[in-house]
Amino acid sequence: MKEQQRAEVVVETVPEDPSCPDGATNIYLIFDGRRIAKRGKPGTLHAMTWISLEPGVVVRDVPMPESESGWGMVVEINNVHVHCHVISQTRCSDLLRGE
């Protein structure tokens, strides 16, 4: 497997119900301008994990001491690993708890 340079990703938080912006949200991972994964909901089998939205994509949370939050992600696209720092106003701890 090839190793690429660190790339940045964006965590997008979208209300489940647009008419209730303070309600539950969906959390997406944006890479290269596309939604590639969705955060699993608490209380489900996918809680605290990323669900791939595209074939060949795997996303995992990993400790990354050099990042501001101490956490980063490994994104694998068609067997190519890309280590990513999270850019977002969403707190990393919320992502890790699955909120």
Domain membership flag for residue 84: yes
37 is a domain residue? yes
The sheet with strand 34-39 has its strands ordered as 50-52, 34-39, 25-31, 7-15, 80-87, 71-77, 57-63
Q: Give the global pTM.
A: 0.72
Query: pLDDT at residue 95 above 70?
Result: no
> What token pair was written down for 79?
């067997």
Structurally, the chain folds into a number of domains equal to: 1
pLDDT tens for 36-56 read 999 998 899 998 899 999 999
pLDDT (tens digit, 9 = 90+) per residue, 4-24? 555 677 888 898 888 887 888
Range of the domain at 55: 7-97
Cα dihedral: 1, 49, 92, 57 (round 10): 30
- Residue 1 domain-assigned (yes or no): no
